């Protein structure tokens, strides 16, 4: 029997719990967690993501500021905007939506964010913490996947996890989080030889390659857990994952849909980490 992971329901439950924690924080410390989201340019997908983040933050009782900047902005001007939020005590989390326009060096931008406010967990100080096993700020998508696996009681101890995609946002941090749970991890990518064969060894298969319906049934072992991070549009503009859901669902024991799987959990973890950063600002 295949079970479909309901990321939307889990995210709603966690966000409702978070709203209660935010209310208690306000009572106890007279503090409201503040999130600043910076969007450069008019990438349609990024606009949707940013809108969803803003809406969820407000609903959970956060202070939410979204800055929409022209893609003609210079690197220095963008760094000035970040610096003003670094100095703003009412803001505990800063997120610069990626991708950035080609003339802006994203590594330089990430370095400009105060690591204590880096709720994306992209700053090298936070990636260093993650890889040394004392994570503070963790990239939100892998963090959300770990929450989902835990909520569905997926035992990772000694299991073989295969990740397809080696991005800094998903694949690489995902590998470390799975290692922390004693999984054996294979990190694959577009140039991996015999990829479908490697993927077929997976007890847990995480797919973040950015190509619609890339993973077909021959990538999947009977009974595997399949997590689809993909967000692609098909030729009719319909949102589809990296996994061919109809084929793979027949083999998987547990699978995420797109939409309604990983996406809502990413936003939840962003809010959770902003809340935790706010809490640290008064308890540290």
Q: Pick between residue 141 and residue 268 the one whose CB is nearest to ligand GUN.
A: 141
Catalytic residue among 53, 117, 172, 251: 53
Minimum CB distance to ligand GUN smaller for 169 or for 278 = 169
Complex with ligand GUN: residue 169 or 271, whichever CB lies closer? 169
What is the residue-wise DSSP string for 273-284? HHHHHHHHHHH-
Helix (H, G, I), strand (E, B) or coil at 48: helix
Name the binding residues for NADP(+): 165-167
When the beta carbons of 38 and 254 are compared against ligand GUN, the nearer one is 38
97 part of the active site: yes
Nearer to ligand GUN among residue 40 and residue 162 (C-beta): 40
Shortest spacing between CB 124 and ligand GUN, in angstroms: 15
Alpha helix (H) residue ranges in 156-202? 171-180, 195-199
Q: Which residues bind ligand GUN (CB under 6 A)?
A: 95-98, 120, 140-141, 169, 266
17 labelled catalytic: no
Longest dimension (CA), the chain: 56
Rounded Cα–Cα distance for residues 97 and 50 (Å): 7
Q: Coil, strand or helix: which one is 38?
A: strand
Of 6, 15, 97, 203, the catalytic one is 97
What is the smallest separation between the CB atom of 197 and ligand GUN, expressed in angstroms?
Answer: 29
In whole angstroms, the minimum distance from the beta carbon of 218 to ligand GUN comes to 28
> Strands 184-188, 204-207: parallel, antiparallel or unpaired by DSSP?
unpaired
Beta bridge partners of 207: 164, 228
CB of 110 to ligand GUN, least distance (A): 9
Which residue is catalytic, options 118, 120, 203, 242?
A: 120
What is the nearest approach in angstroms of ligand GUN to the Cβ of residue 190?
18
Cβ partners under 8 Å of residue 164, min gap 6: 171, 188, 189, 195, 199, 205, 206, 207, 208, 209, 214, 215, 242
Q: Which residues are annotated as a binding site?
A: 165-167
What residue is closest to ligand GUN based on CB?
98
Extract the runs of DSSP E, i.e. beta strands, from the chain.
3-4, 34-40, 63-69, 93-96, 160-164, 184-188, 204-207, 225-228, 232-233, 239-240, 254-255
Give the residue numbers marked as catalytic: 53, 97, 120
């Amino acid at each position: 029997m295949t079970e479909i992971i309901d990321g939307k329901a889990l995210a709603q439950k966690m966000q409702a719990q978070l709203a209660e924690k935010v209310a208690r924080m306000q009572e106890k410390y007279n503090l409201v967690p503040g999130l600043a989201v910076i969007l450069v340019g008019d990438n349609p997908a990024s606009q949707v993501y940013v809108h969803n983040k803003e809406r969820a933050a407000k609903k959970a009782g956060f202070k939410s500021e979204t800055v929409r900047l022209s893609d003609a902005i210079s690197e220095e001007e963008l760094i000035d905007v970040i610096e003003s939020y670094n100095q703003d005590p009412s803001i505990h989390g800063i997120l610069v939506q990626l991708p950035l326009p080609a003339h802006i060096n994203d590594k330089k931008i990430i370095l400009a964010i105060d690591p204590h406010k880096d709720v994306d967990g992209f700053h090298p100080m936070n990636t260093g913490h993650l890889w040394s096993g004392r994570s503070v700020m963790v990239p939100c998508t892998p963090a959300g996947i770990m929450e989902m696996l835990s909520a569905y009681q997926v035992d990772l101890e000694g299991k073989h996890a295969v990740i397809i995609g080696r991005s800094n946002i998903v694949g690489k941090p995902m590998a470390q989080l799975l290692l922390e749970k004693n999984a054996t991890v294979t990190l694959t990518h577009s140039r991996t030889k015999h990829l479908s064969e490697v993927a077929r060894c997976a007890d847990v298969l995480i797919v973040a390659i950015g190509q619609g319906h890339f993973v077909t049934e021959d990538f999947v072992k009977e009974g595997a857990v399949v997590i689809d991070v993909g967000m692609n549009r098909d030729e009719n503009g319909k949102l589809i994952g990296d996994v061919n859901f109809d084929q793979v669902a027949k083999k998987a024991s547990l699978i995420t849909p797109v939409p309604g799987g990983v996406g809502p959990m990413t936003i939840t973890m962003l809010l959770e980490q902003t809340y935790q950063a706010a809490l640290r600002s008064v308890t540290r």
